[in-house]
Structure 1
Amino acid sequence: MLDDDTRNAIALKRFSLISPILNGQVNNRREYYVQISSNPIEMPYYGIRKYAPKTIESWYCDYMRGGLDALKPGYRGDKGSSRKINAELAEKILEVKKAYPKAPNTIIYDKLIEDGILKEGQISLTTLYRFLNSSNYKDIHESEEKKEIKRFAHQYINELWYGDLMYGPYIQDGRKKKPTYLLAYIDDASRLVPHGEFYYTQSLEALRHSFKEAVLKRGIPSMLYTDNAKIYRSQQFEFMCANIGCSLIHSKPFVASSRGKIERLFLTVRKRFLSQLDISDIKSLEDLNLRFWKWLDEDYHKKPHSSLNGLTPLDFFMSQISRVKLCTDPAQLEEKFLLRIKRKVNHDGTFPINNILYETDIKFAGSRFEIRYDPQWLDIPFMPVFIYQEDKKIGEAVQVNFHDNAHMKRRGRPKNSELTVDLQDNELFVESANISGSKQTISFKTIMRGE
């Protein structure tokens, strides 16, 4: 059964194959379909297989019709049932495959029947092929030609952004000094910095915030080129990029030259910004960022760039401002950047997020759902988070208010059940509203005398 993570991975892989068409890099779509389908494609879960040009074309049509969600495989009709190859049988099949790694699958199939592991007709040869192709035991030897390296620059703005992280200075935070990290982006054509910001952490939350700010300021890029750091490889970030129509591309490991433009930007930041900064004057992280943004606006963006024929990054960017693809609906953009986590709802309708307890409708108790939220919402007590199932919003949850819940009437409690308490002369009178005229008296004097 395909879980949600696998379906998401398949959708992202399909999107990566059709993204050159969406970015306008393909002149003839039919020829591109033939070119892509001529080589085997490694698809998550399914393994390496060849696809027909019509299949690639159908993915493009699905995306244009329904976006990224349309690229996800449908849920199985027999969802929840066991497969023909269970865990015990799978282990035995893989043992035979390891013993004969170079044997074709037909020989493996005959060997399994000969050893009594499989019975005639228990599983088909196609099922065995599919299982072994999805495993990591298929040796693939591809001869890679040495590629020549050439300098390049895109002609138009927002076709390609580079994103990377730089270690910043240590600044005083209370009694301790904390390290800072600069997350920044640079446009390939104009060398303009869409956004850069210092953070205390190099986390996915910081990456998400910085990229969203860059998109809000300078529009949506067609491609984003990053290294292979864990935060850039996260499926959460891949989803954020794909949801806004941006292709996320990773450089090859240990090839820093492919990210030369942003590495050069970081060198400029160190030489022309950090070198003139008195760290002892920095009062907070906000103060550091305000100074950095001022330097970007007044120095870097307005200084003629050698690769732009004397133009400044800002002038070059503004000369093609008509090509900027802005997000017209900030609320919709906010939804595309929501974090996604899996949570099981407890029997009392609650579930935790970062040690904060949320509650929802009791009908969801005992089930597992996908929760989508903005990390800033966790600091707002009455801001709800969204509950999704199979990519559809089915409810919301809010933070538990323990004080209000203590005074809230529960369903199933007897109505008009009230107690009247009165304290007079060291005697406690308790009267029940259900029984008219009934009163019970507890005397503290009697208790103290031991009577």
Structure 2
Amino acid sequence: MNEKERNTKVAVASIRLAIIQPAFNHTYPDMTKQAYYERISEQPVKLPDGREVIYSPGTMSCWESDYRKGGFDALMPRDRADKGKSRRLDADAISAIYKAREQFPRLTATGIREKLIADGVIRACDASVATFQRFIKKQNLKGASAPGQRDRKAFEEEFCTGMYQGDTLYGPFIKENGVRRQTYCIMLLDDKSRMIVGGRFFYQDNAVNFQQVFRDACATYGIPAKLYVDNGSPYKNVQLSLICGQLGTVLIHTPVRDGASKGKVERNFRTLRTRFLDRISRDSLNSITELNRMLADYIRSHNTAIHSATGEPPHTRYLRDLAHVRMPQSRQWLEDCFLHRVSRKVRNDATIILDRTPYDVPMEFIRSTVEVRYQPGDEKHAFLLYDGKRYPISPTNKTENSKVCRKQNYYVNYGGEGEV
């Protein structure tokens, strides 16, 4: 399995987790779990490759059972045994069905099938009338009544930590050690309470820095049921999808080029700029550490002041929902959830390359593809995970390796008979 296929499977697993999460946490608005699954099954699900499919309630229930038994990895799709073989309706037939429905809105399923046969798209024996009827019944082939118009409604999570919203704000330039550099403020906001659960300035706006803010927020205020971020590279990557899967958090991305969809966090940044950034003297800043110390004071003031939208302090709202807050099992468990995962092929000299640095691995993994887990910036504590067991690895020291006696699996007698 190459990296692209693995990323696709992670994206599919994230979609499945988003579907079953209300049932798993018993937060569905329907009378029963079955009623929730039946309602969700009426809507097509858009997959990472652009296809839209409809899943049955039984399939969704199986996903929930798999997740309870095997966690996020159990939600990743497995390769079909008949992969590569033809289906009843292939991509060309489905495309032709959509085109025929658009050209002839009143044409029945039987008529569409006969047209595809006449056009040479399919043979009569490829698919029955019942196959076409089921497909057309399950697929929503009608166009939108008002294309281009977005349906928006004001919303709020039922409980605190139901959703964290995250984004990045361009900060001031700081001249530190003789170098003038741009800063970036990465911030997380709790949807229900409007409490700032994480915020820090960095010199880079990247995935590792966002994950650091997210990890600290989970450790301090709890693990969110959902994480709502935009489509930038710090927020849309396979490592963040894996982290959210381990935490049991549904990762949601905003529509592309739709700033209004993340109004709460944008409004928070507007307040941050007018009440904090515009009031500090940029020339007096000597380090990013000083800027972060000032930001921490602002966050404490924000979280304990009355919020104009809710009429009460964010921290008060959060404390009222403590019974619904899911804290990490332990600090070590949380650290393990945020470990990065990469696949590497072990070379014949029992080494792998991680971040352009060779590492020694146990020789039994030679020529095998292994999964390496590590904390970015702390690769010296990286390890292999195989069958639930950890195997430590270490940076290759060729000088020391030259002094190590190798284990030989055979004996060669260079002397004559009876000689050693």
> Do the two structures share a fold, i.e. TM-score over 0.5?
yes
Contact 1:372 1:388 in 2 (8 A): no
Post-superposition shift, 1:308? 2.6
Aligned length: 382
Partner deviation per Cα, 1:36-89 (whole Å, 9 max, x = no partner): 2223334457944332221112212222333222222346669xxx8457xxxx
Are residues 1:348 and 2:349 paired?
yes
Which residue is equivalent to 1:324?
325
Tell me, what secondary structure is at the counterpart of 2:234? Answer: helix
Partner deviation per Cα, 1:403-449 (whole Å, 9 max, x = no partner): 4223322334999xxxxxxxxxxxxxxxxxxxxxxxxxxxxxxxxxx
Which residue is equivalent to 1:52?
56
**Stretches of structure 2 lacking an aligned partner (at least 5 in a row):** 101-111, 412-420
Post-superposition shift, 1:288? 1.7
Hey, what's the Cα distance between the residues in 2 that align with 1:312 and 1:4? Answer: 44
Post-superposition shift, 1:178? 1.4
Kindly tell me: are residues 46 and 196 of structure 1, through their superposed partners in 2, closer, same or farther at Cα, counting changes over 3 Å?
closer
Contact 2:353 2:359 in 1 (8 A): yes
Which residue is equivalent to 2:219?
216
Match for 2:192: what amino acid?
Answer: A
Hey, what's the Cα distance between the residues in 1 that align with 2:187 and 2:326? Answer: 20
Contact 2:208 2:234 in 1 (8 A): no
Kindly tell me: are residues 38 and 410 of structure 1, through their superposed partners in 2, closer, same or farther at Cα, counting changes over 3 Å?
same
Kindly tell me: are residues 401 and 12 of structure 1, through their superposed partners in 2, closer, same or farther at Cα, counting changes over 3 Å?
same
Partner deviation per Cα, 1:342-395 (whole Å, 9 max, x = no partner): 2221111111111221110122222222222111322xx4x2323458xx5563
Which residue is equivalent to 1:10?
12
Post-superposition shift, 1:283? 2.8
Match for 1:225: what amino acid?
Answer: Y
Contact 1:342 1:369 in 2 (8 A): yes
Counterpart of 2:384 (choices 383, 386, 400) is 386
Tell me, what secondary structure is at the counterpart of 2:200? Answer: strand
Contact 2:229 2:235 in 1 (8 A): yes
Hey, what's the Cα distance between the residues in 2 that align with 1:400 and 1:273? Answer: 48
Which residue is equivalent to 1:308?
310
Are residues 1:396 and 2:392 paired?
yes
Counterpart of 1:192 (choices 181, 190, 195) is 195
Counterpart of 2:401 (choices 400, 405, 425) is 405
Which residue is equivalent to 1:227?
230
Alignment of 1:46-125 (within 5 A): 47-74=51-78, 83-84=84-85, 102=99, 107=116, 111=120
Moved more, 190-199 or 57-66: 57-66
Partner deviation per Cα, 1:109-137 (whole Å, 9 max, x = no partner): 995899xxxxxx9xx779xx9xxx9xxxx
Hey, what's the Cα distance between the residues in 2 that align with 1:139 and 1:31? Answer: 21
Post-superposition shift, 1:186? 0.9
Post-superposition shift, 1:150? 3.2
Tell me, what secondary structure is at the counterpart of 1:230? Answer: coil
Which residue is equivalent to 1:163?
166
Are residues 1:335 and 2:336 paired?
yes
Aligned-residue CA RMSD in angstroms? 3.6
Which residue is equivalent to 1:438?
none
Moved more, 322-331 or 215-224: 322-331
Post-superposition shift, 1:219? 0.4
**Percent of matched pairs sharing the same residue:** 28
Hey, what's the Cα distance between the residues in 1 that align with 2:35 and 2:180? Answer: 57
Which residue is equivalent to 1:436?
none
Contact 2:93 2:122 in 1 (8 A): no
Tell me, what secondary structure is at the counterpart of 1:31? Answer: helix
- TM-score normalised by L of structure 1: 0.73
Hey, what's the Cα distance between the residues in 1 that align with 2:191 and 2:318? Answer: 11
Hey, what's the Cα distance between the residues in 2 that align with 1:252 and 1:348? Answer: 47
Report which structure shows greater RCO (CA 8 Å, sep ≥6): 2
**Stretches of structure 1 lacking an aligned partner (at least 5 in a row):** 86-92, 115-120, 416-451
Counterpart of 2:177 (choices 174, 177, 185) is 174
Post-superposition shift, 1:191? 1.3
Hey, what's the Cα distance between the residues in 2 that align with 1:250 and 1:302? Answer: 29
Which residue is equivalent to 2:43?
39
Are residues 1:26 and 2:24 paired?
no
Kindly tell me: are residues 201 and 402 of structure 1, through their superposed partners in 2, closer, same or farther at Cα, counting changes over 3 Å?
same
Are residues 1:256 and 2:295 paired?
no
Kindly tell me: are residues 209 and 141 of structure 1, through their superposed partners in 2, closer, same or farther at Cα, counting changes over 3 Å?
farther
Kindly tell me: are residues 348 and 275 of structure 1, through their superposed partners in 2, closer, same or farther at Cα, counting changes over 3 Å?
same
Match for 2:335: what amino acid?
Answer: E
Match for 1:214: what amino acid?
Answer: A
Tell me, what secondary structure is at the counterpart of 1:54? Answer: helix
Hey, what's the Cα distance between the residues in 2 that align with 1:148 and 1:234? Answer: 27
Kindly tell me: are residues 385 and 407 of structure 1, through their superposed partners in 2, closer, same or farther at Cα, counting changes over 3 Å?
same
Are residues 1:149 and 2:152 paired?
yes
Hey, what's the Cα distance between the residues in 2 that align with 1:205 and 1:288? Answer: 20
Alignment of 1:228-247 (within 5 A): 228-247=231-250
- TM-score normalised by L of structure 2: 0.78
Contact 1:173 1:284 in 2 (8 A): yes
Contact 1:387 1:397 in 2 (8 A): no
Tell me, what secondary structure is at the counterpart of 1:57? Answer: helix
Moved more, 103-112 or 158-167: 103-112
Contact 1:109 1:125 in 2 (8 A): no
Contact 1:349 1:362 in 2 (8 A): yes
Hey, what's the Cα distance between the residues in 2 that align with 1:201 and 1:105? Answer: 56
